[in-house]
Amino acid sequence: MLKRILLFLATNLAVVFVLTIVISLLGIGRYVGPGGLDLGALATLCFVWGMGGAFLSLQLTRWMAKRAYSMHIVDGQTGNEEADWAYRTIARLTQQAQLPMPEVGIYESAEVNAFATGPSKSRSLVAVSTGLLRTMPRDEVEGVLGHEVTHIANGDMVTMALLQGVINAFVMFLSRVIAYAIASRGDSRDDRSPMMEFMLVTVLQIVFGVLGMVVVCWFSRQREFRADRGGAQLAGRDHMVAALRRLAGNQDRIEIQQHKELAAFKISGNWSGLLSTHPPLEVRIAALERAQI
């Protein structure tokens, strides 16, 4: 756990360091001048921080996943029957989906799950837990792997990063505009209270950040429905439905909370409500059974 925390902190510090250099080189760090708030400069700053942070993080997701899970990358010739079967199955499914072959990683865990990540279709990773391979029959595992391959085919990692970047930029922009207006009492910048403005920015970023997460999580739930349909097309609807039912019976073996940075990429989650990245499994099963595939 300590290793994962340190890795997460190191990654975020690296992103902040790179963005700080970019902002310094562009000369866009200041957005309050003699004439007051410069909305253009602020918008540029927020865009660089929001979109830059999201896409730099996306570039690091595959690297982070491998190290956070102590993952073993397999090539189909390891001599381990389970791992080699998973590799061959993913190779067949990606060929059906007309995709480049992703990296395939196996991680030792009792959790029954799998996920896809990576910055592009040509630099993607499908990770499979040993708990999934040992718990599910192979036809059901094929449904899970078809679901993850569909995430890659749909470009879901990129669209999630794009949406998160836009949300982050708006959160930064709105919180600073509102905080500036309140702290300066609508008058000149000479009347501003820097401490009040800092506190307002902090509070408003939390509030707007939560509201933004509602939007991001809604989109994430919609992409799960699409990935279920894609998995059904690749592996067969019966296999996909059976896999989801098996996952519903193994909710206690889904360790989402321990790896929140990758939660949205897994096939199943255990959060609920507006901040859930996955719809309830029962709803997904019903939607798949109604779908015309």
Instruction: Single out the catalytic residue among 148, 224, 261, 289.
Output: 148
43 vs 15, 175, 215, 270, CA distance in Å? Answer: 20, 12, 21, 36
Residue with the two structure tokens 């190779």: 91
Which conformational region is residue 73 in: left (phi greater than 0), alpha (psi within -120 to 50 degrees), or beta? beta
Least Cα distance to 141 among 83, 97, 72, 75 occurs for 83
DSSP string, 84-96: HHHHHHHHHHHHH
Q: Which residues of 81-113 are buried (b: 16+ CB within 10 A; e: fewer)?
A: ebbbebbebbebbbeebebeebbbbbbebebbb
Q: Note whether 16 and 269 are within 8 A (CB).
A: no
Instruction: Judge whether 140 counts as a catalytic residue.
Output: no
- Determine the 3-state secondary structure of 72 from DSSP: strand
Structure tokens at 15: 């992103």
Backbone angles phi, psi at 126, to 5 degrees: -110, 120
What are the CB-based long-range contacts (under 8 Å, 24+) for 33-38? 36/184, 36/188, 36/189, 37/177, 37/180, 37/189
Which residues are part of the catalytic machinery? 148
